[in-house]
Amino acid sequence: MASTLRKKPLAWAVAFAGLGLAMGLVAPQARAADDLTTSPYLFGDWNGERTRLADEGITFDLGYGGEAAHNFTGGDAHLTRYTDQWKGGVALDLDKLWGWHGATFRMMITDRNGRNLGADADIGNNQLIQEVYGRGQTWHLTEFSLEQKFFDGALVVKAGRLPVGSDFAAFSCDFQNLTFCGAQPGNIVGNYWVNWPTSQWAVNIKLNTTKETYVMLGAYQVNPNYVNNQYAESKGLIPDFPGGTTGALIPLEFGWAPTAGGLPGSYKFGVWYNTSKGSDLYYDINHDPAGETGLPALQRDGEYGAYINFIQQVSGDAGGTGTSIFLNVSQADRNTAATDRQISLGMEYKGPFARANDMIGFAVGATNANSRYAEYVQENNIRTGENVIVGDGNEYVTELFYSWSPIPSVYLRPNLQYILHPGGTSENSNAFVLGLKMGFTF
């Protein structure tokens, strides 16, 4: 069934539309909550059914996101590509439903389709130009979890199938370039730090030490199958227990959410350790240059890194219109990470031109290609006669967008991206890209 639906992404639209009609959206006298000019949902309140179900403990998360991109420069062809994602999720408040105090069950299913501009135009970029692309372009069980709160929410335990980046180093995805989207560690060590839409069996524990501070610890199964496209296409939609587990990813995060002049901020500091063995990028099993000897790579005991994630609103109304600035920095260990560092700095201004739902965003970022790996490739080229090009510096990205929201449930977000030294090398031509990111909340 999954392969059939994957070939027909409009099945989601038909299903959502049918649900909307079934819930009475065509009723002659629309409720105030069904007014599209104010409702956060394109299908409104389902003639009151959505609110009634939420009151009983059942809430839905239904939506569609698409991203188009065209490269005017860079690559070996000037192309236009489109990729998208459908999502359908439900959260069950088990206290309201069954009297299970403090418990919530969540399930999210996603479906991705479309093409990747960077690959098709051979731009050579390390960070996706269309962040919504990837992980198999198929169906995924993105979340399947049970959350339990203790001591009036002071302690929160969550277990099940979870994406690491939904809890640790969590960050918005307002920009289209991956450099500025989602949990940053997953952008540089995505082979074991798994962000949306892929999930792993996991457990995490969060202790809210004060109203403004917390500490969070997690353990996530590391298994190469979860990031294997063929596995995703065949079993990505089921809560499977694949063989081949290599270890566990253990992230630790400290968070602080203060207010400055009445305006909210979020400051996160984190470290991680992957207990799996990692292949050294330069040395062989004898601690000699692997590019010269051709022998298997030295196996390192574990992989690690650290990150900071700062967001601070600096003007406007608290949590509403105004300007916020952000800084993300992640560093992975240089022994095993081919892209070992990413830095991004940016701002968002909500409410331009007295339009509360519109937004302007601007960001700059750099992703470093590890010079140890580049040196290995250069020595391997000499030994084998190949001519593989790999970067040994930074891929610099700049993105500017304007987000137009004609109604609260819809946004259209044209953007301009400039990629300097794609892949961290001047061997690849700089790319100027026009993009369009769009979203619909059903």
Span 284-340, pLDDT tens digits: 999 999 999 999 999 999 999 999 999 999 999 998 999 999 999 999 999 999 999
pLDDT at 395: 98
**Mean pLDDT along residues 375-404:** 94
pLDDT at 31: 56
Q: Between 296 and 232, name the one with better pLDDT.
A: 296
Q: pLDDT band for 30, please (50, 70, 90 cuts).
A: very low
| Structural tokens at position 13 | 């639209």
Could you give the C-alpha distances from 374 to 79, 123, 129, 295, 378, in angstroms and in order? 29, 18, 23, 17, 6
pLDDT at 15: 46
**Mean pLDDT along residues 378-390:** 91
pLDDT at 32: 65
Between CA 320 and CA 348 the distance in angstroms is 12
**Mean pLDDT along residues 350-366:** 96
Helix, strand, coil percentages, rounded to 5, for the chain = 20, 45, 35
Question: For 226, which DSSP code?
Answer: G
Phi-psi label, residue 132: left if phi above 0, alpha if psi -120 to 50, beta otherwise: alpha
For the beta carbon of residue 306, count every other beta carbon within 10 angstroms: 15
pLDDT at 232: 87
For the beta carbon of residue 3, count every other beta carbon within 10 angstroms: 10
**Mean pLDDT along residues 33-54:** 89
Q: Is the pLDDT of residue 39 over 60?
A: yes
Between CA 277 and CA 428 the distance in angstroms is 32
Q: Is the pLDDT of residue 17 over 90?
A: no
pLDDT at 260: 87
